[in-house]
Structure 1
């Protein structure tokens, strides 16, 4: 897309942001946990709300930011990780990544964990991944040029029961996952990175 067209679209839809009501944590699965209970951090970037580095964007290497959290409670059987952008000028947030089957012993996820394995839908780390907007493992942040800052929500979810992969499609959508984890959520944490592509 020509940057002039992209910039024009950005200005036309500049106020079409903030689809926070459509975020994963607003689904029925989180009714009993309306607020975060897990301290999710990104040491390489800073506290939640910090600016992502160019290296984390499609303008750079497109790396997944390294995230970390405390050791799981004994009740945790599995973790789930979701990445979304609610500031794109679309009716609902863009899904950048869905990662399932993260063992309860894991306390961090980095770019290395997202290497694709030979088996469809599986990563070398053993995690499974779901369907994002492009059908890839992860979409690096790339807001429309001139559309202002976009917030990228990274959400870790502790589950009291494992996700039943057999009930899901090969590359499950975020809606499928949200439905499957109802009654299984026992806590969650959120870290937000911010990125903007300015006209230079």
Structure 2
């Protein structure tokens, strides 16, 4: 029964997609960098716009896709990573994950990095996570059944100085992080994965 209800809702809101104007990268912190400057790749899936594997979704293992990027220059002191879906039938994109305090020496992340670390709100990858829609580490992709393909944006942001965590809540929100990076962005990259749940 729930499957039929979900499918009915998805067909009702089939055109409620594309909240791209509210993606994280459209914030004022990115005003000097309107286009990507960092090559962000997902070796296990393919180029940006490729279909995510079932194991990257809630239908499978729900693994965070492996991402890689070039070594930073001396200007970069820290990275931030945001995952979001602008195609959900909601006013703003769904935040699937916020990760900050990523060391400048990092050149990639994999699913293992997103396991809970020893300290509160810290992951095994050596960085912290903020608040998503469900209050967990990461929401695997799970678009409404029959709502068509959804795009999952993974945005890596290079910062000229670390985020001041004293100005963040214990579980940092996307709004707090957006404010915390004002004047600190020195570049960014983006990779988009696509996933669809079809009626079968």
TM-score, normalised relative to structure 2: 0.99
Residue of structure 1 in register with 2:104 after alignment: 104
CA distance in 2, matches of 1:105, 1:145: 40
1:6 matched to 2:6: yes
Residue of structure 1 in register with 2:35 after alignment: 35
Work out whether residues 49 and 193 of structure 2, in 8 Å CA contact, stay in contact via their aligned partners in 1: yes
Matches within 5 A, 1:1-200: 2-200=2-200
Query: How many residue pairs were aligned?
Result: 200
Structure 2 unpaired stretches of 5+: none
User: 1:40-61 CA deviation, whole Å, 9 max, x = no partner?
Assistant: 0001000000000001000000
Give every structure 1 segment of 4 or more consecutive aligned residues whose post-TM-superposition deviation is greater than 6 Å: none
Offset, 1:183: 0.1
CA distance in 2, matches of 1:175, 1:43: 30
Offset, 1:117: 1.8
Structure 1 unpaired stretches of 5+: none
CA distance in 2, matches of 1:96, 1:109: 16
CA distance in 2, matches of 1:105, 1:34: 25
- Computed over aligned residues only, the root mean square deviation of the Cα atoms, in angstroms, reads 0.8
User: 1:103-128 CA deviation, whole Å, 9 max, x = no partner?
Assistant: 01100011111111242211122200
User: 1:37-86 CA deviation, whole Å, 9 max, x = no partner?
Assistant: 00000010000000000010000000000000000011000000000000
